Amino acid sequence: MNLGEYQDCVCRKMGNTQAQCLGEYTLGEQGKLVRLTPKAGERGVAVVLDGCVLRDNQPKCDGLFLWQGNQRQAAVLVELKGAGDIPHAFEQLAYVKRHRAEYRQLVARLEEEARGRVAEKAVVVTNGLLSKPEQERLENHHGIRVMAVIHCEASSPIPEMRDYL
């Protein structure tokens, strides 16, 4: 997948310059990890947003997975968040989705390459817990649907985004 000026923000198998890249398809920060591993016939990339694509002081989330499968494609925004700051994750995801031209450019590139509509999704990966009513309240307050709030501890298996596509 060619991301043009943002190609340096894509995670690689080896030689990553971005601290959030923990392998070609894995994003991580402070013990919170998530991956999206393409199967045969699929393509995907993990993109570091915070500090690479987005370098200013405006709200931003940590990363983005771009995925192409069997006549489907998805852009999945990812926020890796500690237990005490989960509400802020919803604000960050909503801001990127609504106000970041760079995010729109990346989704447009995927649409051009895949020649089809891209499903836009968002996830929070956290070591904290969030009740369903609290998640719905945060979604309504920030005007964004979050596909999943995924629990991840440093000692637990790395969550696989394929389970949520």
Nearest to 13 by CA among 37, 34, 33, 32: 37
What pLDDT band is residue 16 in, cutting at 50, 70 and 90? Answer: confident
pLDDT higher than threshold 90 for residue 131: yes
**Averaged over 27-34, what is the pLDDT?**
93
Mean residue pLDDT of the chain comes to 94
pLDDT higher than threshold 90 for residue 153: no
Residue 161 to residue 98: CA distance in whole angstroms: 22
Q: What does the pLDDT look like over 73-118, one tens digit per residue? A: 999 999 999 988 999 999 999 999 999 999 999 999 999 987 778 9
Residue 22 to residue 127: CA distance in whole angstroms: 18
What pLDDT band is residue 62 in, cutting at 50, 70 and 90? Answer: very high
Find the angle CA(163)-CA(33)-CA(109) to the nearest 5 degrees: 70
Residue 71 to residue 67: CA distance in whole angstroms: 11
Tokens standing for residue 107: 């989704």
**Averaged over 124-133, what is the pLDDT?**
94
Residue-level pLDDT at 164: 87
Percentage above 90 pLDDT, the chain: 82
Residue-level pLDDT at 139: 97
Query: Alpha carbon of 35 to those of 4, 29, 84, 137: distances in Å?
Result: 23, 12, 23, 27
Q: Whole-prediction pTM value?
A: 0.95
| End-to-end Cα, the chain, rounded Å | 19
Tokens standing for residue 112: 């051009």
